[in-house]
Structure 1
Amino acid sequence: MTKFVEQKTKQIPVKYDDNIQSAINSHLDGLRQIWRLVRTVKMDPKLTESERNESLARLFAPLSYKDIQQNFVMDGIKHDVGVSFRSSMANMMRLKRRLRQRGYVIAPGGNNKVHDFQFGRQLGIPVPRTFADGVRAEMLQLRAGTIIKPTQGANSQGVYLVQDDLSLLSIKTRMTYNDFEEAARAAGVDAVKSRWICEEAVLGADGNLAPDMKIYAFYGEPGLFIEIERGTGKNGRNRHATFGPGGDRVDVNLKYEMMSGNGIPEGAADIARTLSINTPVPFLRIDLLAGVNGCFLGEITPHPGDTYAGDLRDQADREFGEMFLEAEARLLIDLLEGKSFSSYFSVYGASPSTTHPRS
């Protein structure tokens, strides 16, 4: 039986003790001020119902549900206190960790791109032609007009375009390398230990690499489309165009360098719906290559960056948080009604013993 006892405070270095306590006290004082204002707003007879609700919504917005006092539980539910995409993502990652401890691995980070392509093919999603599939570095043959990348990774680390002279152009940094091992070291990738993929390079209408289209997908419902041009902004930064589900321009990220973009390519939304509705999690980011001959699957990213405080705007965090909760509800209903996700499990498995490891 678990015993709940008061825990003794672990010793804190003296030089930090006062600063830590001061920061905690400031935070608690801020919470107390919010609750005093909540009581004042609720009791003010001069406010209209609309004014009262708007003021309460603003006061509740920065709170998480652990901050809710008992007398205001129903207000917390009414105003959806704690609804946040960032919080939902963190909770999902914690849940996946607990599942892993019990032998189930579902849509982990560091996704295996070989499996992503197998999953896409099984669902009829276009994928680039593959010339090498999970091979060791010494077996990798460079060929012009292809992309090479490690089977596991994120944020374009270790991803290169093989150019006509067989030099390697980093997709992430735009640096060019003449030696494969040097390129891998620069990306922090162990060329010897890693397994590699060599695939067809998908081209855009201008003959260059096709722009990326990254889609936030909430169990069958696309919520955001992010078009990316790599290295065309100031100081070689990426430029972005962001669109809502209806194709309208939206501003969701504080750090993006924006561009007008080309809009949502035909077929992109359907691909995102198909992949996400067949995966037993409420959220995935579907990464596509918007080529001149249509969209091709790039990879599936369960835990994307650019979603944290200081990156994602608060209003977007709230709206995507609502979509996440709706997706969780739809997923739970499907599970209760017996949906098996057979396509997903046939490719990825559910546990370390069934996830088809590469030899």
Structure 2
Amino acid sequence: MRAQRGGAISFDLPNLYSRPMRRRDPQDQPAEHAVEPAPPVASADTDLDVFAHLCREKAEADRQSAEEIVKAFRRLLKRTESPELRSRAVMAALGALEPGQLPEEMLRYALKLDTGMAPVSSFRRLIPIRRQRHHLGPFKLEGPLERKAVSARFAELCGIRVPASSLETRTLDELELHPGYAFKPTNAAGARGVMLCFEEQRVFRPKEQLWTDWGESVAMSREMLDEGRIETDEWVLEELVEDVAEQGPARDVKFYCFYGRVGLVLEIVRDPETRHCWWSRDGERIATGKYGDSAFAGVGVSDADVEMVERFSAEIPAPFMRIDFLHGRNGLVFGEMGAKPARYDRFDDETDRWLGDLWLEAEGRLLNDALAGQRFEALEAAQAIH
């Protein structure tokens, strides 16, 4: 491995999949029936070896680069007393180093110069940290909200409209045609297996972005069950919500919530193709570095909608939760919640830092409220029921 100027790293890795070559003297005569050595057989073990090697090389390169940055920082401190230059150096280092690579003296200078620690904030770092915190336990109060039955009951207790649904589950063979209903597996994520039935010949499958008829749609779901893409043969019926602006299934509106405050709103339509529109809390269309190739001009949500979602979010004892709604003809209808948005690592650096700041600020407010005796009674009641 060799570190190159400009930060690029060159890896001198053997090509484990290439045919080995042997040098031979031109005067050598090959044996009459000489057999060339067989190339290595590609396998999962070989792939793992290559992968592990790359990981070790990357970790070592990061360690060496961090050491060089810290050395350069110390040299700069010896050569200048300028607060401006020192401040710029600190901010550059904070943006380049992982939090665990920051030496104590650099943190001390950052606090002394009052530069703030904005480059350290990172939404993409906080998501896996949260998962590890839940793994360690014991605080998992908001975790059950990712179960649809709990979150729907919780929404009802908070005065949020939820779609009418059947209380009992059914097997796929027990499902009967009911225009005006959505048929959903109880444990499949990402709209897998969902069937939106407008009429017998007009059934929309959001996962596949496909219009089909009732019989074909049921057959497709049965195939998914047989292949294990839907784990359990349990289905519920929900009221079908039609779109606020077009004929067809309602668009999704996903609110990125930080304990009583909305940071981002993502609007998604799925027919005839999936398109995305990002909104700020104040109703301004923005770019986040994510889904830029499928952007469109959405219809947005009202100030009253945002305020309603913020009140709802304040009942959740978590610094971050994404709350999903359907935007129907009669307003927002609750869908589900998620603590780990898909592709959370795709935000650009500016958005990632901003969302990280919102998270950390929300964490502080939540801790203050908890120390002041704040109770989350609606959530406790929803968990008790389920």
Q: Same fold (TM over 0.5)?
A: yes
Looking at structure 1, the residues matched to 341 and 52 of structure 2 have their Cα atoms a distance apart, in angstroms, of 35
Deviates more, 1:294-303 or 1:108-117: 108-117
The letter of the residue matching 1:282 is: P
Task: Give 1:347 shift.
Answer: 0.6
Name which of 343, 353, 371 aligns with 1:336.
Answer: 371
Which segment drifts farther, 278-287 or 135-144? 135-144
Structure 1 residue aligned with 2:318: 281
Q: Is residue 356 of structure 2 the alignment partner of residue 321 of structure 1?
A: yes
Give the corresponding residue for 1:98: 136
* Paired residue total: 330
CA contact (8 A) 2:224 2:230 kept: no
Give the TM-score of the pair, scaled to structure 1: 0.81
Q: Identify if the C-alpha distance between structure 1 residues 266 and 46 changes in structure 2 by more than 3 Å, giving closer, same or farther.
A: closer
Q: For 1:246, give the aligned amino acid.
A: D
* Partner residue in 2 for 1:73: 107
Question: Is residue 126 of structure 2 the alignment partner of residue 88 of structure 1?
Answer: yes
Q: Which moved more, 1:202-211 or 1:118-127?
A: 202-211
Contact 1:114 1:134 in 2 (8 A): no
Q: Distance in 2 between matches of 1:16 and 1:328?
A: 36
Match of 1:244 among 269, 277, 280: 280
Residue 342 of structure 2 aligns to a residue whose secondary structure is coil
Aligned to 1:291: 328
Question: In structure 2, how many angstroms separate the alpha carbons of the residues matched to 1:75 and 1:166?
Answer: 68
Which moves more between the two structures, 87-96 or 322-331?
Answer: 87-96
| 2:145 matches 1:107 | no
Residues 182 and 196, structure 2, Cα contact 8 Å, conserved in 1: yes
For residues 239 and 159 of structure 1, the distance between their equivalents in structure 2, rounded to whole angstroms, comes to: 19
Q: How does 1:99-178 map to 2 (within 5 A)?
A: 99=137, 102=138, 105-108=140-143, 111-131=146-166, 133-165=168-200, 168-176=203-211, 178=216
Seen in structure 2, the aligned counterparts of structure 1 residues 14 and 138 have a Cα distance that, compared at 3 Å, is: closer
Give the Cα–Cα distance (whole angstroms) in 2 for the partners of residues 290 and 65 of structure 1.
40
Q: Which amino acid in structure 2 is aligned with residue 283 of structure 1?
A: F
| Aligned equivalent of 2:16 | none
Runs of 5+ in structure 1 lacking a partner? 1-11, 350-354
**2:91 alignment partner in structure 1:** 57
Aligned residue identity for 1:334:
D
| Structure 1 position 179, deviation (Å) | 4.1
Would the aligned equivalents of 1:213 and 1:289 in 2 still touch at CA under 8 Å?
yes
**8 Å CA contact 1:217, 1:224 repeated in 2:** yes
- Asked whether the equivalents of residues 213 and 228 of structure 1 are also in contact (C-alpha less than 8 Å), the reply is yes
Counterpart position of 1:268 = 305
The residue number in structure 1 matching 2:242 is 202
| Cα deviation, residue 275, structure 1 | 2.3
Indicate if the aligned counterparts of 1:267 and 1:295 stay in contact, CA closer than 8 A.
Answer: no
Secondary structure at the aligned position of 1:163 is classed as strand
What SS is found at the alignment partner of 1:115?
A: helix
Change (3 A) 1:75 1:139: farther
3-state SS, counterpart of residue 223 of structure 1: strand
1:138 CA drift (Å): 4.1
Counterparts in 2 of 1:62 and 1:162: CA distance versus 1, 3 Å: farther
- Alignment of 1:224 onto 2:224: no
Corresponding residue number in structure 2 for 1:212: 252
How many angstroms does 1:163 deviate by?
A: 3.2
Task: Go from structure 1 to structure 2 and tell me whether the alpha carbon gap of 1:55 and 1:259 turns closer, same or farther (over 3 Å shift).
Answer: farther
SS at match of 2:286: coil
After superposition, the Cα gap between the structure-2 partners of 1:171 and 1:340, relative to the gap in structure 1 and judged at 3 Å, is same
SS of match in other structure, 1:61: helix
% same residue: 23
Determine if contact 1:137/1:191 at 8 Å carries over to the other structure.
no
Residue 28 of structure 1: aligned partner: 63
213-222 or 187-196, larger mean C-alpha shift: 187-196
* Displacement of 1:137: 3.4
Given the two structures, how large is their TM-score scaled by the length of structure 2? 0.76
The structure whose Rg is larger is: 2
Partner secondary structure for residue 173 of structure 1:
coil
| 1:301 alignment partner in structure 2 | 338
In structure 2, stretches of 5+ residues that fail to align are 1-45
